[in-house]
Every structure is written in C-alpha cells, then in structure tokens.
A and B are shown apart, each in its own frame.
Chain A
C-alpha cells in the first residue's frame, strides 16, 4: 500500500492536470466557434468560383488543347499527395488519421507501380511522415506561430503546386485532409486537385450562354490556379475547425478521465488513512491493557 503522502501527491498532480485539460477544452471550444465562422465566411467565394469554373469548363469539353490543369497532362505516373494536418497535437487521432490515410494510399499507389511524392502541409504531418518516407516528401509548409492560415498562404501553396506540375514533377495531385462533419466526426477525405474534374459530354447540355472576356481559354488559365488556391484554403479552414473540434473532444474525455482517477485515488487515500487510525487505536488500547 502506497504511503499517505505519495497518494496525496498523486491526487494533487492529477487535479492540476485536470485543470489544464479543462482549460484547454474551453479554449478549443472558443477557437472552434471562430474557425467555423471563418469557414462559413469563405463559402460564398468558393461557391461562386465553382459555378464560374463549371460554366467555363463545360465549354472546354472535347477540346484537345484544354488547359492541362483542367484535364491533366495525359499521364498518371507520378502522384503527389498533399497531406493537410494541424500544427499542434493533443487532439486525439486527428493527425494520426491523416498519416494513416496517406500511408495506405502510398502503399496502394506503389502497388500499381506509380511513383508517389508527398507534400506535408502542417507540422504534425511532416513530423510523422518524414521518419518513414523522407525521400518522398518534396515540400512542407506550416503555420506555427501564426494566427491560422490566411488566403495568401493557400495561394503560395497553390502556386508552388502549379509550378511543380508545369515542370512535370508530378502528373496527378490529390489533397488529403480532415473534413469537418460535426464536432464528433472528422473524416479523412481525398480530393483531386489536378486534373480538376474532367468535363463530360453531359455538361455540354447545360453549356453556358455567358459572354466571356477576354476569352474562355485565357480566363480559365487565370481561374484554374485561383481555384486551386480556393480549394486549398477551404481545406485548411476545414482542417482548422476539425482540429479544434478534435482537441475539444480529446480534452473533454481527458478531463473526465482525470475526474475518475481522482475519485479512485481519494478512495484509496481515505482507506489508507482509516487503516492508519485503526492501527494507532489498537496500539494505544494494547498499550493501556499491558499496564
């Protein structure tokens, strides 16, 4: 049986842990609300951008000279996976889920004989992946110390991806991020970035009747990298909201576990104390009888 003093120490230490986890839970909840509002605010732009792109892309269906960003460069040998993770941990399996998804995807693609490269967006993903696939990581970026990712950051990533694609470093780009479904569920999601959705003959029926200035091709040329940035930005915001949700859930259960632990420890502490008193009493009575 551990001594009274060591039990008391443990109770105190668990109590302060509980204080920390419950404070972190509150902070995560507040930040989650802000992250959700931010993701909500970015939706109109992405929505309109998608509509415009769909209208323009439909007119490019069947055009052999369509932008490679839209229809691909005809190859699918080298795949780039963009792994979006958080920069910080203490969020349950949030980051581990992305790493797991990437690992499975790399294995599956390599089994098909493809070459795989990884771009780690977020510190935790880079930390976890660089141990086992150092040679595959072509780039990394994180937002440590910044107040979340801004659109300019997403744009910088998008430009880097377009540059690499045009230089022929990879043929297919896929984004892997945690989609924020609700506070309890964040689902690892794969989203093709390049090529953007292939226009099908079906789209032709709803062919747009917009006039376009300067012209379809050059506007698409500007719109596509922009759209890439928008998608990455949306994923970053989604990831951010998901991260705080995951952290909130994790800290909530940590707080509850600490509470249970304290209950158990207090019970054994009281038992030990009673046992001590009983022994002392017995000793005193035994001593009195002996006189």
Chain B
C-alpha cells in the first residue's frame, strides 16, 4: 500500500504522488515514513528528503527546513526552500555556509531568538554542503 506524498514550497506544489516510503530530516532525527504511520507533526532541519519506491531511492530533494504533517495515509512536507539534490550548486552552497558562519559568529548569544535562528541557518547551510559531497551524507 503506497502513501500519498506532497512536497510543497511556499511558491508552489512541487510534487504529489504515491510512493512507498519517505525519509525526512526531522528536528529530532531522521524519520522514515511508511504507510500507516501514526499521526505526527514535526519540524524539519536542513537535510535530504529521500523518496523510496520498490526499495530504491527514486528522488532526492534538499530542504533547508520546514514542517511535515503525517497521517496514516499521507505525508505533507512544507519546505522553506527545496531543490532536487542534483541541482544543488557547490559554489553557492559554500557561499551560503560562509555567510551563515559569519552571521552565527556575529550574533549576540544572549538574544535567544536570533541565536537559535542563526544556528538553524548554519546547520541548514552545513547540510547543504554535505548533501552535495557524495558519500558524506549517506548513512
């Protein structure tokens, strides 16, 4: 039995189809979602969304963060920013990482909101760099 997957960015519905399994990068760790998963709402950290069909990864997307809503029969991934892994650009990723690092170091650690945001950005940028280097991001 397949599970209905929707990947949605703020600008448009990116993908909607039935798949066998999805692995998403939750804030508390990666989550593999199979049909019949218990109802769950989770935040996402930066990382790769893997789509499995017939025990093989058919599509791989990089998300910079967002949310996912999971019910028994469907999963909706609300991504802040999403790109197919193949389209990631190493140069841009390195640049984003450098920017995030600078912002992280500049931020006032006592300002919890700004600090959390900067560290989220840093994690996401690091994940983007990792997602490009083959082998490194594989589990």
Give me the interface of A with B, judged by CB distance under 8 Å. 38, 41-42, 44-45, 48-49, 51-52, 55-56, 150-151, 154, 166, 208-214, 218-219, 222-223, 226, 229-230, 233
Contacts and interface: CB of A to CB of B under 8 A. Distances in A.
Secondary structure of the B side of the interface? strand
B41 A42 contact: no
B28 A214 contact: yes
Contact of A210 (B13, B40, B76): B40
Nearest to B37: A211
Contacts of A230: 10
A44 B6 CA distance: 10
B12 to A, nearest CB: 4
Nearest to A52: B69
Contacts of B26: 213
Interface residues on B, range: 20 to 34
Contacts of B38: 211
B8 interface: yes
Interface in B33-75: 38-43, 67, 69
A219 B27 CA distance: 10
Contacts of A166: 113
Interface string B93-115: 00000000000000000000100
A184 to B, nearest CB: 27
B78 interface: yes
A52 B40 CA distance: 10
Contacts of B138: none
A223 B27 CA distance: 13
B27 A48 contact: no
A55 B113 contact: no
Contacts of B10: 42, 45, 151, 154, 229-230, 233
A211 B12 contact: no
8 contacts: A45-B8, A48-B76, A52-B41, A52-B67, A154-B10, A211-B41, A213-B28, A214-B28
A41 B15 CA distance: 12
A51 B8 CA distance: 14
B41 A213 contact: yes
A213 B69 contact: no
Given A42-B11, A166-B113, A213-B27, A48 B41 contact: no
Contact of A212 (B6, B13, B40): B40
B9 A223 contact: no
A223 B13 CA distance: 19
Residue with the greatest number of chain A CB neighbours at <10 A, chosen from B13, B41, B113: B41
Contacts of A214: 27-28, 42-43
A233 B12 CA distance: 12
B12 A42 contact: yes
B69 A48 contact: yes
Contact of A211 (B11, B40, B67, B80): B40
A33 to B, nearest CB: 16
A99 B43 CA distance: 39
Contacts of A233: 10
Residue with the greatest number of chain B CB neighbours at <10 A, chosen from A38, A154, A222: A222
Contact of A45 (B39, B42, B78): B78
A45 B43 contact: no
Given A38-B11, A44-B8, A214-B27, 12 more contacts: A41-B12, A42-B12, A52-B67, A151-B9, A154-B10, A166-B113, A209-B39, A211-B40, A213-B27, A218-B43, A223-B67, A226-B67
A212 B42 contact: yes
Residue with the greatest number of chain B CB neighbours at <10 A, chosen from A48, A223, A226: A48
Contact of B41 (A45, A56, A226, A229): A56
